[in-house]
């Protein structure tokens, strides 16, 4: 496997884990625009555990994920007191606070970032991403997943049906923070360098778009959304190379992804606000399973 393809697959796997971190909260009716903050916590936490505590990659990754989950649990209480756009603003503010702390901390490298000494390759990242995907599908098939879907569809009705909405949402926020931090730890160890500019506002926006465009009704949504938006820039780059265009024009084609993203987002909001993958779509694609369930 070429180094280029390896890099694309590693980035895709990291983005998939990141997307599921945001999906867990979105599936329970919470729009989290603080993804970059949680990923930064995981990346810098893993870096410090390796550089200062001397931990090997495995324990450092696990502790960084736990740190992200703990932070998610703690901030969920004030965040869940807000609703709608105010929740989005609160989570966005959290990510900006994390970035500000990093930039103003000499111990965290400030604007210069940190260089890691340890490394993990794609042989570790891909199985972890596969495990996260399987876990997400399992979670959505359990009673907790059913409660999450009920809260997503109508929180008031879910409460009337006996669902402890606050407990489910707090748990989802903590779990989502842990998965986002896990993606950050893997990112740090794969690329060997972290800096605050990587975890900026655009990152939080993009990963939320992965989930919203992919769909929040099923666990397929973030997988499809992350794959599409990660591979699209690479596809544009490969197209430019195949056409043999000039380097300047090739960069222009690649950078046009922002325009393409905008067009896709507007089109999806108009034509398919539920996202690419919905429950109805899966039922239409799996008619035999539906008929079998009806006869059971």
Give the model confidence (pLDDT) of 184-199 as tens digits: 999 999 999 999 889 9
pLDDT, one tens digit per residue, over 63-118 is 999 999 999 999 999 998 888 888 889 999 999 999 999 999 888 988 888 999 89
Cα–Cα nearest to 220, from 210, 233, 229: 210
Q: Could you tell me the pLDDT band of residue 251, with boundaries at 50, 70 and 90? A: low
**212: pLDDT strictly greater than 80:** yes
What pLDDT sits at residue 237? 67
The token pair at 110 is 């400030």
Q: For the chain, what percent of residues have pLDDT higher than 90?
A: 51
What is the per-residue pLDDT for 199? 93
Of the candidates 48, 180, 182, the residue with the CA atom closest to the CA atom of residue 113: 48
**Pick the residue with more confidence: 235 or 174?**
174
Where along the chain do its domains lie?
3-200
The model carries a pTM of 0.88
């Amino acid at each position: 496997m070429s180094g280029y393809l390896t890099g694309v697959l590693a980035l895709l796997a990291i983005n998939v884990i990141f997307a599921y971190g945001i999906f867990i909260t979105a599936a329970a009716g919470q729009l989290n625009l603080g993804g970059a903050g949680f990923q930064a916590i995981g990346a810098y936490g893993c870096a410090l555990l390796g550089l200062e505590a001397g931990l090997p990659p495995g324990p450092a990754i696990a502790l960084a994920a736990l740190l992200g989950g703990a932070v998610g649990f703690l901030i969920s209480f004030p965040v869940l007191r807000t609703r709608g756009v105010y929740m989005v603003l609160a989570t966005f503010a959290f990510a900006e606070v994390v970035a500000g702390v990093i930039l103003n901390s000499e111990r965290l490298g400030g604007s210069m970032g940190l260089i890691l000494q340890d490394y993990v390759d794609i042989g570790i990242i891909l199985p972890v991403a596969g495990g996260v995907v399987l876990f997400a599908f399992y979670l959505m098939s359990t009673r907790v997943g059913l409660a999450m879907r009920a809260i997503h569809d109508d929180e008031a009705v879910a409460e009337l049906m006996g669902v402890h909405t606050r407990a489910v949402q707090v748990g989802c926020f903590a779990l989502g923070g842990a998965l986002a931090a896990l993606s950050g730890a893997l990112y740090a160890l794969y690329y060997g360098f972290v800096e605050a500019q990587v975890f900026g506002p655009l990152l939080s926006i993009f990963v939320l778009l992965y989930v919203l465009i992919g769909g929040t009704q099923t666990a397929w949504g973030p997988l499809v959304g992350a794959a599409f938006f990660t591979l699209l820039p690479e596809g544009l780059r490969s197209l430019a190379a195949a056409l043999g265009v000039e380097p300047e024009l090739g960069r222009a084609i690649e950078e046009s992804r922002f325009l393409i993203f905008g067009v896709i987002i507007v089109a999806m909001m108009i034509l398919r606000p539920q996202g690419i993958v919905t429950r109805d779509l899966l039922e239409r694609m799996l008619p035999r399973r539906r008929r079998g369930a009806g006869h059971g």
